Structure 1
Amino acid sequence: MLIALLVFLFPLAYSPGPGNAFFAAIGATRGLRATVPALAGYHVATFVVTTVIGIGTGVAILEHPVFAKVLSAVGSLYVLWLAVTFIRAARAKGEDTTDAAPMQRIGFWDGAIVLLMNPKAYYIIAVMFMQFLAPSASGNATAVLVITAVFTLNNLAAFIVWALGGRALATLFRSELAKRWIDYLFASTLLGVAVWMAAPLFN
């Protein structure tokens, strides 16, 4: 079951997606160390949400489309705001002044909010449990926790890989002009994440 679960999760975690883009952007523009607080927030939230859905009490959110739309709207606006901070950082790099605004710090709660305000993550988790948690085990806390731990750790590993990839890209282009355009590139990526999170609003 664990092997099948990992095969199921691998393309979800390692292929391009909102979480990957978010952490690749932070890694590229601020370094791997700067991703640690957001990684912690995202994956603590992942563990809690996945456990709650696994034991059945969180599935109710999937039955309330209005609430899901509210989550989509708030999450999309929040990621849009993060994208704006990258654009401001890029513009600051192009200014010959020491008075430029400091780069916005992305911390624990930023990572947590990206997960909590993404209703599509809730659906993915629910589908995972429908596939890999036998009905007879739905009340089995051990089974739920094992699946939750595998899901969370697999995502964590994938996001670290993407953050390192973003940092490697930034290392290849060390000039100030290149760094400025990398900020713009990942700001655009976050704008795409915001649009992706807003998609349920139009369904």
Structure 2
Amino acid sequence: MLYLVPTPLGNLKDITLRSLEVLQTVDVILCEDTRTSSKLLQHYQIEKPLTPYHQHNEHKILQHIVTQLQAGKNMALITDAGTPGISDPAFLLVRECAKNDIRVETLPGATAFVPALVNSGLPCNRFLFEGFLPLKKGRQTLFKKLAEEERTMIFYESPVRLVKTLQEMVSYFGAERPCSVSRELTKMFEENKRGTLQEVHDYFSQKTVKGEIVIVVQGKLHE
């Protein structure tokens, strides 16, 4: 069996008892970065073989992992933070397991966009998760399309591109569109900044931005 196990965004206490139980009982743990995952596992005194599984090698080792699963090994897939498959590796492996009738079990747990959305104060009954925007090709086309989106929109962004992305959103969505930016979720310096796109852009333009970023933008209102 393959288990998809969410891991904490930053606060090591944000892991479920069931997740710890699974990590303690599987034969192998597939992880995005062994250095990052080792800190979590050492904290909970879990000693298991680690196999790197990330976007740069997932195609290369995919069949090897499937073969091991078919041979009877139980594996857990974790990423550096959050739920595998949400802007992180997992899709290819899950699809291959489905093709080969290998059981996959996904555990509930940490996912960055959920607390950011709920904390934003924006409508969360209907929302669109976009993840990371394309860096170049198709970026403008996507912004033009999203400008008409009526659902609340959620984006992931890096700290070095945050201000530029907010400026583009001002241009395409309008300066007065309500939004919220969350960074360093669950960590000591967690910050949630709400306001219009222009206000939030101006705020982050005046400071050095660090940490993982979630941008939540209100959808277009009916005329």
TM-score, with structure 2 as normaliser: 0.22
TM-score, with structure 1 as normaliser: 0.24
Q: Which has the larger radius of gyration?
A: 2
Greater relative contact order (CA < 8 Å, ≥ 6 in sequence)? 1
Q: Which structure: greater strand fraction?
A: 2
